Structure 1
Amino acid sequence: MGNINKDNLLYMAKYSAFNPYRMREREMGYTTSIGSSDALAKSLYCGMKAIATWDSDREKAPPTGGIFNLEFSPEGTLLVAACEKKSIQIFDPLTHERIHAVNGAHTDCVNCVKFLDARMFATCSDDTTIALWDVRNLKKKIRTLLGHSKWVKNIEFSVKDKLLVTSGLDGSIYTWDINSYTEYNLVYQRVFHTSSLMRCRLSPDARQMVLCTTGGLIVIIHDLNLATLAQDLHGFKPNLYRLMQMSHQMIPVAAMYDHLFDSKNRENRVEFVSDFPEGNDAEVVSALQVHPQGWSALSRNISHDDKSEWTCIHDIQPMESPCDKDTRDTSPVGRGRRTPSRRTRPRVYRVPRPMHPNPMATTHIQITRESERAAAGPSTSHQGGAPISPPQPSRLGLPGIQNDVWEAAITIKQHRLLQEMYNRGADVPSTSGYTPHQESPYTSDEEPAAKHFIRQNKNRLLYYIEETNEGKGFIKELCYSSDGRIVCSPFGRGMRLLALNSDCGELSGVAQDLSQPRLMVELGQSLGIHTDLVVSSKFSPRYHMLVTGCLEGKIVWYQPFSGESL
């Protein structure tokens, strides 16, 4: 075993990026062996060190507040920071200098930045609006998009449909046609709505949409067609369907959407992901990213007891199942129930606990006004007219998910009462004239619901790791490297670099050996450079470069470096 480890270390050193002979062998045309790319990547990522910092105090500029999001342009030539105090900051990634600032970009904190191409990008804010910008002229916005009624937290761009996709804490997902607009607004459509929505992401080819919620659920929509999504998923409530799965009780209003999960669906097929590591009773899935190749989803969640945070990687690639019954619970209602795998205790459905707003922490996920269900939200589609003003939040402040639970609880209660009456042989009023005293196709120990199947979720968890629980309530935006080998995860006042194995292998090369979920491997960490909680991180799409931002407004650049760190 010692010889194997020694040989592996020698191999890694031979193909390291810092080996002076590597370039000479490449220039002479020597072929590289299998695994050399892993050795090269490991040497680069393990050599990541902080090389530069920026903060507003150094330039005597107006304070930026927390750096909530960082985004590179597609070519990696620009870096844009979304800031708590209503501004966006633009940097040259190579010189680490700020080249422009837009103060007052929004009327509330800026949450997210998304480049649509090399010159145009979009920002979203807690002021419920989305703004379009051109890097060639930042003196004014190209356009302001109105439609959301609560904080807007996410922007995606569908390269397939040329549509902007936004999601907010009003539970709505909108698509915007940026090439067709009216006098007042762009042509837009609400394609989906669900209570407790946190994040919405698209795969790089826009063939999949991944959602996460405050109910510990990840939803995948396969073979995405944004043009028909609103029609296909009309009336579908993920929370209600998930409640039916966990309670093992048929809920007719949820079961009527069972066809959405059918593997025969060619478009907008729905899949639930609900398996998490042992000891992680996930409640709020607050951060979400998709692998650069669309292979997996990276998420960060907070456990139900608020005592732990976890980073998880789930497989999101379509799976072919030979029979739908493989994914269904065939046991009759009320009999032996299966508990979810890898859980120490059966999970029960929870209504989110009452929360109190914190005016000092604008990205705090313990929100009340964001998680309240939008009363009479915007219309499904809109092509013009006056700007829509957001409706006022409910005075009671009850989360929208509570309505789903109440509706399901009434259904389950009625169903159980009906079963008890059948078991006792009592007369059951019926408009058709049928009573249990008449001949029934069920035997005495059978139940009427035995013929129903409740579809269960596949196990999708691949990798996981427990995180520090500092800064409770703040969203920590983690990210994939451009090659998908590495995950950068905010870790207190610093960050950690996580890999799938110690050799820094790709998912396609290591997933074949997985028989059960594995712990992620820590390649390195950087602590103490930031003076406050790190809440954002981003890898450059072009260079081996990483940037992180904290709540104090400090940005740190990391690159492979063989000398002394900061």
Structure 2
Amino acid sequence: FRFLDNRLFATCSDDTTIALWDLRKLNTKVCTLHGHTSWVKNIEYDTNTRLLVTSGFDGNVIIWDTNRCTEDGCPHKKFFHTRFLMRMRLTPDCSKMLISTSSGYLLILHDLDLNKSLEVGSYPILRARRTTSSSDVTSSGSSGPRSVGSPCHHNDSDLLSEKHMSRSSQREGGSPRNSLEVLTPEVPGERDRGNCITSLQLHPKGWATLLRCSSNTDDQEWTCVYEFQEGAPVRPVSPRCSLRLTHCIEEANVGRGYIKELCFSPDGRMISSPHGFGIRLLGFDAHCSELVDCLPKEASPLKEIRSLYSHNDVVLTTKFSPTHCQIASGCLSGRVSLYQPKF
């Protein structure tokens, strides 16, 4: 769900709808929004334009104009479409949209303009590459995104590379609005295999993105943190990559095939991650320091601060309270647990 103001909030559902609610009258919906054709999994909100943004397993990102909302719904339009869409997020300043896919691609729309719908082929792809460490530099070519050679990618690079690369050239002096970057994020142990990005979260200060990735064969699972990088390419022959892997940790891989939702703490110093029948609290160092104070030259392991176990089934989701020192977790059987950890 997502609050739009002090009283109005929106929820999404697997019944393909979005509902608007008023805290003062929770026994009935303000209105129901219809537009998706499959499960709706994400809601974002741009407070500047009062536009609601939703994404679903139908591959669509839809914009809803809450400025013109009535009992019958809100005017809406399809903003973006991609195959195998899993999760969609806006950065805190709403300047970027990130979209993860089950085929291992991470899409970033830069200099975001939600008022401009993106038809297929109308957006310029400026950069398309795998994220690299400092010891793994790949020179750019003219063929678009590099495939990692795994069946999990379903050849969706065809949709986002050669056909559209030929329609737009890289603009000198900066990126145009809604320019699309296509990445296959580096995942430890997955260099030669595909992966599925099942969970996508953003640092509350917009410094980094947090991914939960599983291998194509579901035999490995990782939590990874990627720092946003801005500026010109380090090497002229290589296109700039916006994300750099800074921290990671291998997960228990219990409950194969299920999506596990992880999260940052409100101050961004800790990560809560489902781990088997419980959760792990992870930090960038043992002292729960800020990310900017713990940026390594090469990817480093996340530090386990605390483990909390109280479920009898696989934990699928966890969330920090935005106002209290409290964490919630939910498991496959439907039980929700609340923790108040002491350090």
Sort the TM-score into its range (normalised by shorter chain). 0.7 to 0.9
- Stretches of structure 1 that go unaligned for 5 or more consecutive residues are 1-112, 328-455
| TM-fit CA distance, 1:188 | 0.8
Paired residue for 1:316? 228
Asked whether the 8 Å contact 1:122–1:132 carries over to 2, the reply is: yes
Change (3 A) 1:325 1:270: farther
Q: Residues of 2 paired with 1:155 and 1:276: CA distance?
A: 27
| TM-fit CA distance, 1:216 | 0.7
Amino acid aligned to 1:310: W
TM-score, normalized by length of structure 1? 0.52
The one-character-per-residue Cα deviations of 1:388-419 (angstroms, maximum 9, x if unpaired) are: xxxxxxxxxxxxxxxxxxxxxxxxxxxxxxxx
Paired residue for 1:245? 145
Paired residue for 1:416? none
Q: Which has the higher helix share?
A: 1
Change (3 A) 1:537 1:252: closer
The one-character-per-residue Cα deviations of 1:119-153 (angstroms, maximum 9, x if unpaired) are: 22111111111011111111110000000111111
Asked whether the 8 Å contact 1:261–1:271 carries over to 2, the reply is: no
| TM-fit CA distance, 1:231 | 5.6
| TM-fit CA distance, 1:214 | 0.9
Which of residues 102, 124, 135 in structure 2 aligns to 1:214?
Answer: 102
Classify the secondary structure of the residue corresponding to 1:544.
coil
Amino acid aligned to 2:49: D
Paired residue for 1:302? 214
1:268 pairs with 2:178: yes
Paired residue for 2:135? none
| TM-fit CA distance, 1:517 | 0.9
Paired residue for 1:506? 290
Amino acid aligned to 2:211: S
Change (3 A) 1:262 1:530: farther
Q: Residues of 2 paired with 1:175 and 1:209: CA distance?
A: 13
Amino acid aligned to 2:300: R
Paired residue for 1:176? 64
Change (3 A) 1:174 1:233: farther
Q: Which has the higher strand share?
A: 2
Q: Residues of 1 paired with 2:174 and 2:125: CA distance?
A: 21
User: Mapping of 1:52-63 within 5 angstroms?
Assistant: none
Q: Residues of 1 paired with 2:196 and 2:219: CA distance?
A: 12
Asked whether the 8 Å contact 1:300–1:312 carries over to 2, the reply is: yes
1:524 pairs with 2:306: yes
Paired residue for 1:84? none
Q: Residues of 2 paired with 1:257 and 1:214: CA distance?
A: 26
Query: How many residue pairs get matched?
Result: 318
Q: Residues of 2 paired with 1:509 and 1:465: CA distance?
A: 19
Asked whether the 8 Å contact 2:125–2:182 carries over to 1, the reply is: no
User: Mapping of 1:407-446 within 5 angstroms?
Assistant: none
Paired residue for 1:362? none
| TM-fit CA distance, 1:269 | 2.8
Classify the secondary structure of the residue corresponding to 2:238.
helix
Q: Residues of 1 paired with 2:105 and 2:214: CA distance?
A: 12
User: Mapping of 1:11-22 within 5 angstroms?
Assistant: none
Asked whether the 8 Å contact 1:263–1:321 carries over to 2, the reply is: no
Asked whether the 8 Å contact 2:282–2:303 carries over to 1, the reply is: yes
User: Mapping of 1:83-122 within 5 angstroms?
Assistant: 113-122=1-10
Identity of aligned residues (%): 39
The one-character-per-residue Cα deviations of 1:80-139 (angstroms, maximum 9, x if unpaired) are: xxxxxxxxxxxxxxxxxxxxxxxxxxxxxxxxx222223221111111110111111111
Change (3 A) 1:203 1:132: same
Q: Residues of 1 paired with 2:73 and 2:25: CA distance?
A: 21
| TM-fit CA distance, 1:204 | 1.2
Classify the secondary structure of the residue corresponding to 1:137.
coil
TM-score, normalized by length of structure 2? 0.84
Asked whether the 8 Å contact 1:160–1:205 carries over to 2, the reply is: no
If asked which structure has higher relative contact order (CA below 8 Å, sep 6+), I would say 1
Q: Residues of 1 paired with 2:62 and 2:91: CA distance?
A: 17
Which of residues 74, 77, 80 in structure 2 aligns to 1:192?
Answer: 80
Change (3 A) 1:535 1:260: farther
| TM-fit CA distance, 1:235 | 6.7
Paired residue for 1:256? 166
Q: RMSD over aligned Cα, in angstroms?
A: 2.8
The one-character-per-residue Cα deviations of 1:149-189 (angstroms, maximum 9, x if unpaired) are: 11111111112221110000110000101120367431111
User: Mapping of 1:9-408 within 5 angstroms?
Assistant: 113-181=1-69, 184-230=72-118, 234=122, 244-246=144-146, 252-259=162-169, 264-280=174-190, 281-321=193-233, 325-327=237-239
| TM-fit CA distance, 1:284 | 1.3
- Stretches of structure 2 that go unaligned for 5 or more consecutive residues are 131-142, 149-156
1:539 pairs with 2:323: no
Asked whether the 8 Å contact 1:273–1:460 carries over to 2, the reply is: no
Q: Residues of 1 paired with 2:63 and 2:264: CA distance?
A: 25
Q: Residues of 1 paired with 2:82 and 2:298: CA distance?
A: 31
Amino acid aligned to 2:183: V
Asked whether the 8 Å contact 1:220–1:316 carries over to 2, the reply is: no
